[in-house]
Amino acid sequence: MSARILVVDDSPLSLRMMTMVLQKAGFETETAKTGTEALQKARESKPALVFLDAVLPDIDGFEVARTLKQDPSPVPSPYIVLLTGLEDVTRESLEASGIDEVMRKPFQPERVVDIVKRVLAS
């Protein structure tokens, strides 16, 4: 399983913890700290999966997801997991953004690995 995974979070601690969990499980990761950086890296590396923080300093995670899902490139759009501590995330906002799944913060390492294995196996 050598598919690339993009982790987007403006919290250095969250970013470090998530990448450690993924790399320990044998997955190749790339990171971004802003929505702008996430879009640039996603266009360059075409990740299979993106763990995306909902609240970023420039473009929020919902807009980043919407942009990634609407990309007309021939490569399939990535599976997007929204990372959030927000309580008021609605099904409508998730569907409108093209977000595939939500994972609450703080995250459980086992769940992160389970999600990746499930997504990459499909």
Query: Which CATH number does the domain housing residue 26 bear?
Result: 3.40.50.2300
Across the chain, mean pLDDT equals 93
**Ranges 19-28, 50-59, 70-79, 113-122: which has the least confidence:** 70-79
What sign does the CA torsion over 45, 103, 56, 9 have?
negative
**Cα–Cα nearest to 103, from 95, 111, 114:** 111
| pLDDT tier for residue 54 given thresholds of 50, 70 and 90 | very high
- Percent of the chain surpassing pLDDT 70: 98
Q: 19-28, pLDDT tens digit by residue?
A: 999 999 999 9
pLDDT at position 90 is 87
- Between 105 and 122, whose confidence is greater? 105
Matching residue, tokens 């294995």: 117
**Using a CB cutoff of 8 Å and minimum separation of 24, what contacts does 66-74 make?**
66/96, 66/97, 66/98, 67/39, 68/39, 68/42, 68/98, 69/97, 69/98, 70/98, 71/43, 73/43, 73/46
Q: How many domains does the chain have?
A: 1
Q: Is the pLDDT of residue 86 over 60?
A: yes
Q: Is the pLDDT of residue 1 over 60?
A: no
pLDDT at position 2 is 59
**Cα–Cα nearest to 80, from 90, 91, 60, 94:** 94
**Ranges 49-53, 71-75, 83-87: which has the least confidence:** 71-75
Show the domain range for 112.
Answer: 4-121
Q: Is the pLDDT of residue 115 over 60?
A: yes
